[in-house]
Structure 1
Amino acid sequence: MTLAAGQREQVYRGLLRRNRGVSLLRLIVPLAGTAIFLLLAAEIYLSSLAGRFGIGQIKVSLENVSIDAPEYAGVMSDGSTYRVTAQGAVANIAHTDIIDMTDAALTVLRKSGTTLEINAAAAQLDTTKRQVIIAGLANVEDSTGTVSRFYNSVFDWSAQTLDSQGPVAVDYADGTKIIAKTMKYDTQAGVWTFSGSTVTLPSTPGAKKP
């Protein structure tokens, strides 16, 4: 098929526009990847001003940043230290301060020497609010022997509190058991506050031990 001169001109211009578009994309895509990486690096740097942010391998897409073996650590106002680790994490490019973690663990070492360990299959790390949010089940254990199970919990390391708005079950080392609707734990004062709670004691107060 033979094209007229005007048609050949239109085809030529169309190919020219296409080639310019491809050349532009070849330039934009690497620049976008570089910008995303720089954004993440800036976020990590800003977070590191208040704590320590360690990462493994980084994978960047147009929407998300995947991080292998992330770690975030810092010091509380009373001198206690905390460390947040996970098997993996994903941050949305638009909100890199919110990190979704899998197999997450939070460890708090208080100045007194006691430790608090919180583990969850999934959690969120908010580096701006300085919180760890666990919507599902959190298993908690401290070095005094207390073992707990919480739902819908938020650990705020600025306020040094663990706030659970879901069902709570606590087993103390002395055999005391508490089941409650909600709970708040002040890690600095070591005070547990429960609502809608049922307490089971290993023995009646004042009774003689057999």
Structure 2
Amino acid sequence: MTAPRSASEPVPVPAPAPVATPYELAFTTDRKRFYWTNPNCGITIVDAGRDSALVWETPQGEERRRWTEISAVNMLLASDGKQEVNQCRIDFNDGRSLTVSDAGANGQLDETRTPIYRAFARALNARLAHAPDGTIRFTAGMTEGRYRVMQILLGLLTVLFVVTPVVLVFIVRDWRVLGTLAAGAAFVWPFWRLMQNNAPRAYDPRHPPDELMQ
């Protein structure tokens, strides 16, 4: 028989029921970049106090990672060759990673998923903002090394498609060369814009970069 509870003894408060918020977004694991089709879609944020986690399912089964297992978050603006694709890479303490994006199964931008991605990225950052300082690294854009290489490539493209036509205008005295200049500028501009948005930097998870959630 259970002894009666005294009036001074505190009544235990039941733990809040877990709240799961699903997001229909494509994802890849362990930095996989090349594929013909991506069958992985659907990631869930589970709010459950200390057991809050990310949950996703692959053909190998369900995976769950708690907030305490996350070591870094990187937000990036990639390209499918035609349009920009938003990506959020989540690194875990064991060296594995999860990359979530607004791409479709073929890796190209799916504009219907962009608002869903934006909601996911903001929700994830808002929750991780409560992590103890220094436990999670928040970065935006490319790595320093990759950014330098891309800067060199951008410089070469600018010389080839923008500077050269300008020089030709004064050499050949033919204003039709300006058409080549306009075409070159139109070709270089998206690349330049991608570089500007992907400049390597740290960010505050309370204010994730809007330019990487377009």
Q: TM-score range by the shorter chain?
A: under 0.3
From the CA coordinates, give the structure whose radius of gyration is larger: 1
User: Please, what TM-score do these two structures have when normalized by structure 1?
Assistant: 0.28
User: Please, what TM-score do these two structures have when normalized by structure 2?
Assistant: 0.27
Structure with more relative contact order (C-alpha pairs < 8 Å, separation 6 or more): 2
